[in-house]
Amino acid sequence: MDNNSCIRQQADIKQINRCKDRVSELNGSFDYLSNGLKLAGNNVRLKILFLIYEEKRLCVCDISDILGMTISAVSQHLRKLKDRKLIETEREAQTIFYSLTKEYEKMLKPFFKILDENKILETL
Amino acid sequence: MDNNSCIRQQADIKQINRCKDRVSELNGSFDYLSNGLKLAGNNVRLKILFLIYEEKRLCVCDISDILGMTISAVSQHLRKLKDRKLIETEREAQTIFYSLTKEYEKMLKPFFKILDENKILETL
DNA sequence: TTCGTATTTTAGTAGTTGCTTAAATAAGCA
DNA sequence: TGCTTATTTAAGCAACTACTAAAATACGAA
């Protein structure tokens, strides 16, 4: 795009440049974090994460039953969460159990606290 | 969908029902929270939120310049953030400045801390 | 009022996402 | 080995998203 269209006359050039540097410095981190937030930013996946958090571990079949969705649809969500290492698997005979990875359990806890206490509508 | 396809034989019916109740009880909160996370879960919007957080306030034009995007594209992101009250506006002559709402500033801080300290790749 | 600056809005479009259906894989058991 | 159970994967498609380009709105100054 062409930048010469609207730089406002009172623009603080120093500020703009500082910000540009900041963004390029942190660029990879933005990608990584936004990707993680996007995963949690889906209604179904957020419920899945919450259920796994509360119950410690669940299999696709349980989740499919709880959410009233096809196993296939749930499985595809689980794969996304697993690819990004928000959750991990543990096989027990034919059943594969999913649980939160330690890092994300810690990270998601505050959100689930808010959810659980139903404070969400006032807090946000 | 039809549920009778795969309820595994050793399924814990009590657990399933407890989870179903939990989900329907918190249903509105899941919608609200996932919607918010989705907004932050976009590369461009996360950068916008971060920049506004660091600089206190910025106008569309500044952000467009910093990110190398058209003003129109940035404006459309800002509208989404504003609709959901993550950010608010303050007019100064022809220029409209955007800043984080207090609630979200508090809520986003821990994420930006991680970003800033570049810990993100180890922490997440 | 007319012009310039700052910004938003609208319409159109290419790319992405989340689901469905059907086929494939994997483990346990007769 | 074949059969059942548990699960994943692949193909297809409808809905959604983020952008572009052009038009519209809003304020200030001459």
pLDDT digit string, tens, across residues B5-56: 446 667 789 999 999 999 999 999 999 999 999 999 999 999 999 999 999 9
User: Residue for token digits 């027990």?
Assistant: A92
Per CA to C1' distance, which residue is closest to C4? B94
Dig out the tokens for A66 from the structure.
């709880």
Can you give the residue ranges of every domain in chain A? 13-122
Residues 60-89 of A with CB under 7 A from strand D: 60-61, 71-72, 74-76, 78-79, 89
Mean pLDDT across chain A, nearest whole number?
A: 89
Residue type, B88: E
pLDDT at A59: 97
Is residue A52 within 8 A of residue A99, CB to CB? The reply is yes
Q: Does B72 touch chain A (CB under 8 A)?
A: no
> CA of A43 vs C1' of C8, distance in Å?
30
Q: Which residue has the higher pLDDT, A101 or B110?
A: A101
Coil, strand or helix at A85: coil
* CATH number assigned to the domain covering B13-122: 1.10.10.10
> CA of B97 vs C1' of C19, distance in Å?
40
Distance separating alpha carbons of residues A73 and B54, to the nearest angstrom? 39
Strands ordered across the beta sheet of B58-59? B58-59, B95-100, B87-92
Distance separating alpha carbons of residues A17 and A6, to the nearest angstrom? 16
Share of chain A above pLDDT 90, in %: 73
Closest nt by CA–C1' to B2: C20
Tens digits of per-residue pLDDT, A41-88?
Answer: 999 999 999 999 999 999 999 999 999 999 999 999 999 999 999 999
Q: Which residue has the higher pLDDT, A12 or A74?
A: A74
pTM, rounded to two decimals: 0.90
pLDDT at A117: 78
Interface touch B66/A31, C-beta < 8 Å: no
Dig out the tokens for B12 from the structure.
């814990």
Is residue B124 within 8 A of residue A107, CB to CB? The reply is yes
- Closest CA of chain B from A32, distance in Å: 8
Distance separating alpha carbons of residues A86 and A13, to the nearest angstrom? 40
